[in-house]
Amino acid sequence: MRCAIHHTFGEPAEVLVAGDSAMPTPGAGQIRVRTLLSPIHNHDLWTVRGQYGYKPELPAIGGSEAVGIVDALGPDVTGVTLGQRIAVAAVHETWAEYFLAPAKGFVPVPDAIPDEAAAQLIAMPFSAITLLDFIGVQKGDWVIQNTANGAVGKTLAMLAKARGIHVINLVRRDEGVAELTALGIANVVSTASNGWKDRVRHMTGGAPIRAAVDSIGGGASGDLMNLLGDNGLLVSFGSMGGEPMRISSGDTIFKQAVVKGFWGAKVSADMPADKRAALFGELVRLVAGGELKLPVEAVFGLDRIKEAVIASQAPGKTGKVLLRP
């Protein structure tokens, strides 16, 4: 079968190549899925670099999420229908014509959701809805997040709107304001503009910001802490800048603020099954109803994996880059 594979760890655009691999055979408790579309996530690229929590044996096929058709069942697998269209994440080797998945770890995809949305239905949107649940805000509360034009940021903004939660969405480029506004996302502020913090305070009308989500680190963490209200929560979601969080001790002390880390895999693993099912149900309903948009930047064939990786890392992209076998 065709696949996008790497024989060494390194920069994805340099080490990933189009290749061939044996078609996998499902074992006990597994299904085989024929891939329709698979996204390129940042964590997929860090895995190819050999710098993620999961380090595959080489040679390795990339990818961790996809929408596809159930093609074969492992021994004793029941409750799964051949030909069923499903979405699955937290798996491996989805950048191929076929891949294996747990028989109990998928989401059936309703007809109302197109392949392009279903391919990215779980990993980033579920991280976003879990994060929104994690910060514990209610209808009418204010939240602030940076890198709001990232996949999780855009999704969190849309989910919060559906729940009646107000979000200040920070972007680092002035052009990012129009990009998010075009998706129906409000309260967008560019940190490249002078006086941006005053604009944030004006938007909230003096209401306290209950929680802040930081995906950058460094001085950006301190900026969020500075805007946070008393007894607020600052959540570290990522470190795009690769720097330690720099936070004012004065802001932290006098605001009685709390700083917590968020690792989606850990939070999801500890979540009760009924709650996880409810959150997935909310996601599916919002995507099917058009309230949650999952835009696509471009679709590439596996034979253009190097171009696809470069496109996925380009600044200013408005959606996910997907691979089609």
DSSP secondary structure, 202-238, as one string: HHHTTPPEEEEEESSEEHHHHHHHHHPPTT-EEEE--
Per-residue confidence (pLDDT) for residue 266, from 0 to 100:
81
Residues 316, 307 contacting (CB under 8 angstroms): no
Instruction: Give pLDDT tens digits for 107-119.
Output: 899 999 999 999 9
Q: What average pLDDT score do residues 131-145 get?
A: 96
Q: How many CB atoms lie within 10 A of CB 260?
A: 11
Instruction: Report whether pLDDT(199) > 90.
Output: yes
Structure tokens at 143: 């939240």
Q: What average pLDDT score do residues 253-279 get?
A: 89
Q: What average pLDDT score do residues 44-53 get?
A: 91
Residue 125, preceding peptide bond in cis (omega within 30° of 0): no
Alpha-carbon distance 322 to 35, whole Å?
Answer: 12
**Angle of helix 151-162 versus helix 123-134 axis, rounded to 10:** 50
Give residue 251's region: left, alpha or beta (phi > 0; psi -120 to 50).
alpha
Confidence tier at 260 by pLDDT (50, 70, 90): very high
CA distances to 1, 193, 322 from 170, rounded to whole Å, are 43, 11, 26
CA distances to 33, 271, 304, 306 from 68, rounded to whole Å, are 6, 26, 20, 23
Q: What is the 3-state secondary structure (H, E, C) of 276-315?
A: HHHHHHHHHHHHHCCCCCCCEEEEEEHHHHHHHHHHHCCC
Q: Which residues of 160-173 are buried (b: 16+ CB within 10 A; e: fewer)?
A: bbebebbbbbbbbe
